[in-house]
Structure 1
Amino acid sequence: MNTKTLLTTAIATTVLMGPALAVAEDMRIGITQNNVGVDSYQTTYESAFIAAAEANDNVRAVVLDAGGDVARQIAQVDSLIQQGVDAIIIWPTNGEAVIPAVRRANNAGIPVVVTNSNIAEQGFDFIRSFSGPDNVTQGSRSAEIMCDKFKDMGIENEAKVVQISGQPGYTTAIERAAGFEDRLPEVCPNVDLMETQPGDWNRERSQQVMEAFLTKYDDIDGVYSGDDNMGVGALNAARAAGREGIIFVGATNFSVGYDAMAEGDYWGSIYQSPVDDAEAALQTAIDILEGKEVPFLNYFDTPKITQDNMDEFTRPVF
């Protein structure tokens, strides 16, 4: 029997520890994720993390999912502390609310790696590393994509834009919005960002937000969404309303966004692999446990993708 045991659960806050988990030389790494069922990125991330852990004979992983519930995630961190894992990886449901639990892990001598979406800055003293994308840079690059397209169209001095952000309080949503909002006036100072509303990382919710925007504003030239899942929801609303010519830009390229780009209806996004994300988080935890130097902000690159260069990228699997 393989000495490595992988335990997975969708929403559990505790895990029964069997005899196979008592091998001292193994690295016991626990992860509590944000909400695997909310979108295909997180689902693919989980599968990639499990595969990477199974491929390493020195790793035994306890894989938990908070189901989007802050209280459940805090309980999961406390459970992992009680189990005495060697390292904890957390994908925060809320960047501020999880700080006390992360502090408890740090006080217990357990290194914490934050994955994908960072915790609030006041919690930085309690983590060893953040592994994931630079979300501010992603938002900034999305602004550049949109501005460049407006310049090509000759409307950079009159264009009107709306934004569909992610889940309120979620660090990724905050950072991607901030990157976009800070960069857009630098590159296209006359573009008018008229309004921002949250889409909660949900396509149906984002379609409803866009329907309201379309009712409220007769003139919309561009839509920026925190990811393509929301962006395609907005695109669906525009299609249904017969509003053509709007430039749609996202901040994480999903397969539905890639397909819409191929169809010519969606202009651009930021290419981010959930497989790279998951593997980077696990490797960061392993490197820390092996005593290697790890950057505090351990970013992986996320390049621009548009209709012009999409042939250079493989279609996302999520």
Structure 2
Amino acid sequence: MKTKTIIAVTTAAVTLGGAAFAESHGGAMKIGITQNNVGVDSYQTTYEKAFIEAAEGNDMVETIVLDAGGDVARQIAQMEDLIQQDVDAIIIWPTNGEAVIPAVRKAHQAGIPVIVTNSNIAEQGFDFVKSFSGPDNITQGARSAEIMCDKFKEMGIEDEAQVVHITGQPGYTTAIERAKGFEDRLPEVCPNVTVVDTQPGDWNREKSQQVMEAFLVKYDDIDGVYAGDDNMGVGALNAAKAAGRDGIIFVGATNFAVGYEAMAAGDYWGSIYQSPVDDAKAALQTAVDVLSGEEVPFLNYFDTPKITQDNMGDFTKPVF
């Protein structure tokens, strides 16, 4: 079984590890990163900015920062380019958890440690990965189910509520895991709640609004919406508002600024708090630890707590 832990990120640790590497290898760590799709949402944009800032703040680290633009073939080509550049480590935010495995294997065979960030690759590729750094997406989905169930119980509709589910990009590990966490946990805590339909929103607010518009036409009774992130959740909320459908409980995962604002307005019930800054720093820290020869657990999770209208005052508004 692969081990896991919760990690905290400190600049001092990054600098110390980089210094140890430089002393033994005669130079700074050369770390390449290929990201999923920086332009698709503000989470990934903020992640990239935080990663670059963390790397620039450490003289012992040199980085090559690439973006696949959501294109699997482009990401595979970027992996091959990083291998040719003989980087010391590669960080990959996979566009597709299965399709990138051959490229990850190629890096492994070239002796380059691979760190997967944010969204893991499929299990059959685990042998080629040194460590995963990011959120526990299954736990996030499960916590979202608990948030929704608790609200239904408070409303007294836990024995009759009907829910629709908007997932992220098909084939994307985060989308698969958050959906699994929600779908496995909801029957455990609210066995009589029914998920009547599930459709992908592709992490896109406009597409999710269209998906919700179709749900509203198809189903006269919708009590709750679970979306794989707040960007999609707010898209669904916008559709419900336009249709004049009140009283629906909206729950997401990864609390965006728009989700936080909708919660403050009383329109959106809850989500999971996740920081792209922590995500980026954790990925860089993991790569530095690996190159410094430290024992690194395969699963390096950072905590992502529940946030609802009831406790949102304990959290700062997301910057993305």
TM-score bracket for this pair, using the shorter chain length: over 0.9
**What does residue range 105-254 of structure 1 map to in structure 2 within 5 Å?**
105-254=107-256
Q: How does the TM-score come out when normalised to structure 1?
A: 0.93
* AA in 1 matched with 2:209: Q
- Residue 294 of structure 1 corresponds to 296
1:11-22 aligned within 5 A = none
Between the two proteins, the alignment pairs up a number of residues equal to 296
Q: Deviations over 1:106-132 (max 9, x none)?
A: 000000000000000000000000000
1:56-95 → structure 2 map (5 Å cutoff): 56-95=58-97
The corresponding residue for 1:260 is 262
1:195 is paired with a residue whose SS is: strand
* Residue of 28, 35, 40 corresponding to 1:38: 40
Q: Which residue of 2 aligns with 1:103?
A: 105
Counterpart-to-counterpart distance in 2, 1:60 and 1:311 = 39
Q: Distance in 1 between matches of 2:232 and 2:140?
A: 16
Instruction: Quote the offset at 1:293 in angstroms.
Output: 1.0
1:71-111, Cα deviation, whole Å (9 max, x unpaired):
00000000000000000000000000000000000000000
**Residue 303 of structure 1: CA displacement?**
0.2
TM-score normalised by L of structure 2: 0.92
- Which has a greater percent of helix? 2
Distance in 1, matches of 2:273 and 2:296, equals 24
Partner amino acid for 1:251?
A
Distance in 2 of aligned mates of 1:303 and 1:234:
23
Taking the aligned partners of 1:64 and 1:229, their CA distance within structure 2 comes to: 24
The list of structure 1 runs, each at least 4 consecutive aligned residues, that deviate by more than 3 angstroms after superposition, is none
RMSD of the TM alignment (CA)? 0.7
* 2-structure distance, mates of 1:57, 1:243: 55
1:259 Cα offset (Å): 0.2
Task: Name the CA distance, whole Å, in 2 between partners of 1:195 and 1:294.
Answer: 40
Structure 2 partner of 1:6: none
Structure 2 letter corresponding to 1:296: F
- CA deviations 1:195-221 (Å, max 9, x no partner) are 100000000000000000000000000
Shift of 1:230: 0.2
Match of 2:273 among 271, 285, 307: 271
Q: Work out the CA distance in 2 between the residues paired with 1:24 and 1:132.
A: 30
Task: Describe the SS at the equivalent of 1:294.
Answer: coil
2:50 to 45, 48, 51: 48
User: Per-residue displacement from partner, 1:26-52 (whole Å, max 9, x unpaired)?
Assistant: 000000000000000000000000000
Gaps of 5+ in 2: 1-24
Question: In the alignment, what sits opposite 1:316?
Answer: 318
Q: Deviations over 1:232-256 (max 9, x none)?
A: 0000000000000000000110000
CA shift, 1:24, in A, is 4.4
What residue identity is the alignment partner of 2:28? D
Q: Distance in 1 between matches of 2:263 and 2:167?
A: 20
1:161 is aligned with what amino acid?
V
Once residues 35 and 212 of structure 1 are traced to their aligned partners in structure 2, the CA distance between those partners, rounded to angstroms, is: 27
Structure 2 counterpart SS, 1:252: coil
CA distance in 2, matches of 1:90, 1:295: 17
Instruction: Compute the displacement of 1:25 (Å).
Output: 1.0
Q: Which amino acid aligns with 2:123?
A: E
SS of 1:37's partner is helix
Query: Which amino acid is the alignment partner of residue 259 of structure 1?
Result: E
State the percentage of identical aligned residues. 83
